[in-house]
Amino acid sequence: MADGQLRIKFLKKIDDILQQKKRNDNLQFISDQRYSSIIADLKRMHSAPDEKKTVKDYRTLRRFAYKDISGVERLVKKDDPFIVIVPTSEFYDVIHTAHIETGHGGRNVMEHHIARTYAKVPREAVMVYLSLCEACQLKRCQPKKHVVVKPIISPEMGSRGQVKRKNTYHNQPIATRFKLHFFPGLRALKTKF
């Protein structure tokens, strides 16, 4: 699947999840609009520190800060300003990059990788991405490397052997013309069969 198609399918599935949730205050899924609104709230509180704050304001202050990163205003974690908050519209890029950088890493590997730089990328979104990666799905369908082979339990076991003709002269005794392989306990027949 081309990258563009994967992105479209991913965004559609995330949209379906959001439709089901129908919660504006969903803390795991921060829309672009809400992202901007949180930054605006933080700026307002910074410029007027004495202004009366609501419960929501205090909650925002406890969780978020904002800073300029490469000319773009980004929300960051209050207790760790190096961790960038990711809005829903950027889930795909963050998850896709992590998946490639970890060599098609699984859920835990990806989450660990993402958490070093980003926050608010929900597990649900990582799982949606993994369900769409064709290479990973193909890998899951392949049989495991360590296949246990069942032993042959048959009364005829050991009564057969494979014979291979030796490169000998035809006038030599027949027993020497054949060599038994695999079952050294068997003896070569002295007559033709």
Closer Cβ to Zn ion, 87 or 105, answer by number = 105
Give the number of C-alpha atoms closer than 13 A to the C-alpha of residue 34, restricted to the C-beta side: 16
Alpha helices in the chain (DSSP H): 3-21, 32-47, 55-63, 91-101, 107-115, 123-132, 134-141, 174-177
Give least dist CB 103 to Zn ion, A: 9
Closer Cβ to Zn ion, 30 or 126, answer by number = 126
Closer Cβ to Zn ion, 77 or 96, answer by number = 96
Contact pick of 95, 121, 128, 133 for Zn ion (by CB under 5 A): 133
Give least dist CB 96 to Zn ion, A: 10
Give least dist CB 160 to Zn ion, A: 47
Give least dist CB 69 to Zn ion, A: 28
C-beta of residue 61 within 8 angstroms of C-beta of residue 44: no
34-73: which residues touch Zn ion (CB under 5 A)?
none
Contact pick of 132, 136, 180, 188 for Zn ion (by CB under 5 A): 136
Q: Which residues of 143-174 are buried (b: 16+ CB within 10 A; e: fewer)?
A: eeeeeeeeeeeeeeeeeeeebeeeeeeeeeee
The SS3 of residue 66 is strand
Does 104 participate in binding Zn ion (rule CB under 5 A)?
Answer: yes
Contact pick of 135, 157, 175, 189 for Zn ion (by CB under 5 A): 135
Q: Which residue has the tokens 């773009």?
A: 72
Sign of the CA dihedral running 37, 118, 74, 124 = negative
What gap in Å lies between CA 107 and CA 130, rounded to an integer? 8
Contact region for Zn ion (CB under 5 A) — 72-80, 136-144, 160-168, 181-189? 136-144
Give least dist CB 106 to Zn ion, A: 9
Q: Which residues lie near Zn ion (CB under 5 A)?
A: 104, 133, 135-136
